Amino acid sequence: MRFRLRHLLFAVAATLALTLLVSNLTTDDKKIEVEVRSPYAARDPQFLRSMGVLLGPSIVRGNQVRHLENGDEIFPAMLDAIRAARTTITFETYIYWSGEVGRRFADALRERARAGVKVHVLLDWVGSSKMDDSLLQAMRADGVQVARYHQPKWYNLSRLNNRTHRKLLVVDGRVAFTGGVGIADKWSGNAQDENHWRDSHFRVEGPVALQFQAVFMDNWVQATGKVLHTPDYFPEIENAGDKAAQMFSSGPSGGSESMHLMYLLAIASSRESILLSSSYFVPDELAIGALVEAAKRGVRIRIITPGDKIDTEVVRRASRARWGDLLKAGIGIYEYQPTMFHCKVMIVDGFLVSTGSTNFDNRSFRLNDEANLNVYDPAFAAEMAKVFEDDVKHARQVTLEQWEGRPWHEKLLEQALSLIGQQL
């Protein structure tokens, strides 16, 4: 009897795993299968029209954008904004774990809810699995409205791998944050050792904050069936700066290929330089081809990825298997050494800065719900280029000779893991 039961349980588990795998490998959207070319440069007005009309929401002017580096700057800025909230807080995140950072955010959100602020928190079910129920219960008891995105049920298991990977915080509809950080202790500190990660986040004020809010509302409606649309969430906003920006989003339910296409078009429109900080860099053939073609037309391309201090060694191995054509084209690849490198920033031609939750891999491009802030501003691009150069100082360049000289068993393992790149 026990033998039959074990076999039955194994069969059920295998069936569920196969169902998830098949659902992840097949999507309703038609994949981009042809090379994307651009007759205009990133600084050309037509590039802005394509990005703001063909691909994403309108590019709006009058914004202020501030870069925040590592937890010592990021978390205080976010908590200050929460504590200053007067009407609404909307907060969507992938990682929310128990710990000191999680408690501090929960306490701040609870206090504002008790003060009468309408607080809405959307957590990915997978990413918040390490969050204690007591923390959730305490927030709900004080009036925080908490929802879990794609919490699995027997009839919707195929949705389990469609996660909200977005990192969005909007306060009073006016101040917004996005970037790479999750709510967990590993992001605290200042990247001083391998237990404290290197990451970037961004504080935004101005009209583009309303686009942040609209992206949050998309998944809030999916998770709760409730629409939030009063002036408390979408107020009239005056200009707060001089930067042009847009909040670009994607997800399987609303066009999973749009983020992929945005990256490909930006690369195809480059004429001078591409600086790419990527925590999980597993490019597909189209992305590799686009980067190689850019290098051939004289674009200087440098990429920073994590070194051996990484939370997902499988991703690093799958990534390294795909570097050959990039290195042969003269593209510089650097592995960050001090700690886990979790930044997600692309700078094109000293003009476009794209940053947010999106990784340079198929999971972000086709499976996850993602959101990126695109800023079109030479001064801001120059500021972020300086941040990139500082990170390069803490990274080790990988040469073509070093890559080709890897031991045979490493090559074999990396090629095998590269075959499952769509899932990474």
Catalytic residue among 342, 361, 377, 391: 342
Nearest-angstrom CA–CA distance, 160 and 16: 11
Provide CB contacts within 8 A for 330, sequence distance 6+.
295
330-348 pLDDT, tens per residue?
999 999 999 999 999 999 9
Q: Please report, for residues 194, 342, 356, the alpha-carbon distance to residue 339 in angstroms, rounded to integers and kept in the order given.
A: 4, 9, 20
**Alpha-carbon dihedral sign for residues 404, 410, 412, 416:** negative
Catalytic residue among 349, 369, 377, 391: 349
Q: Report whether 218 contacts 368 (CB < 8 A).
A: no
Task: For the chain, give every domain's residue range.
Answer: 27-423
Catalytic residue among 67, 118, 124, 172: 172
Q: Determine whether 167 is an active site residue.
A: yes
Q: Determine whether 260 is an active site residue.
A: no
295-330 pLDDT, tens per residue?
999 999 999 999 999 999 999 999 999 999 999 999
Q: Determine whether 344 is an active site residue.
A: yes
Q: Report the pLDDT value the prediction gives residue 339, as an integer from 0 to 100.
A: 98
Q: Determine whether 226 is an active site residue.
A: no
Angle formed by the axes of helices 133-141 and 100-114, to 10°?
20
Q: Report the pLDDT value the prediction gives residue 12, as an integer from 0 to 100.
A: 39
For residues 293-308, b (16+ Cβ closer than 10 Å) or e, as one string? bbbeeebebbbbbbbe
Quick one: DSSP state of residue 148? E
Q: Report the pLDDT value the prediction gives residue 7, as an integer from 0 to 100.
A: 45
Q: Report the pLDDT value the prediction gives residue 34, as an integer from 0 to 100.
A: 65
- Residue 8 in tokens: 């039955």
Q: Report the pLDDT value the prediction gives residue 363, as an integer from 0 to 100.
A: 82
Q: Of 3.30.870.10, 3.30.1330.60, 3.40.50.300, 2.40.30.10, which CATH number belongs to 27-423?
A: 3.30.870.10
Provide CB contacts within 8 A for 267, sequence distance 6+.
274, 287, 290, 291, 294, 348
Q: Determine whether 232 is an active site residue.
A: no
Nearest-angstrom CA–CA distance, 51 and 276: 19
Q: Which amino acid is at 51?
A: M
Chain centre to alpha carbon of residue 144: 25
Quick one: DSSP state of residue 174? T
Nearest-angstrom CA–CA distance, 230 and 66: 27
Q: Determine whether 342 is an active site residue.
A: yes
Q: Please report, for residues 57, 61, 206, the alpha-carbon distance to residue 242 in angstroms, rounded to integers and kept in the order given.
A: 18, 6, 9
Q: What is the pLDDT along the chain (424 residues), one digit of tens a residue?
A: 444 445 434 443 443 444 444 444 444 444 556 678 888 999 999 999 999 988 889 999 999 999 999 999 999 999 999 999 999 999 999 999 999 999 999 999 999 999 999 999 999 988 898 999 999 999 999 999 999 986 666 555 555 566 789 999 999 999 999 999 999 999 999 999 999 999 999 999 999 999 999 999 999 998 999 999 999 999 999 999 999 999 999 877 665 578 889 999 999 999 999 999 999 999 999 999 999 999 999 999 999 999 999 999 999 999 999 999 999 999 999 999 999 999 999 999 999 999 999 998 888 887 888 999 999 999 999 999 999 999 999 999 999 999 999 999 999 999 888 887 655 5
Catalytic residue among 67, 118, 165, 243: 165
Closest CA to 270 of 47, 28, 17, 2: 47
Q: Please report, for residues 74, 105, 334, the alpha-carbon distance to residue 175 in angstroms, rounded to integers and kept in the order given.
A: 14, 17, 34
Kindly give the residue spans of alpha helices, DSSP state H, lying in 158-312: 208-224, 258-268, 285-296
Q: Report whether 291 contacts 327 (CB < 8 A).
A: no
Catalytic residue among 167, 186, 260, 309: 167
Nearest-angstrom CA–CA distance, 359 and 199: 13
Catalytic residue among 344, 369, 377, 391: 344
Residue 369: what are its φ and ψ, rounded to 5°? Answer: -90, 125
Virtual torsion, Cα 267, 271, 272, 278, nearest 10 deg: 0
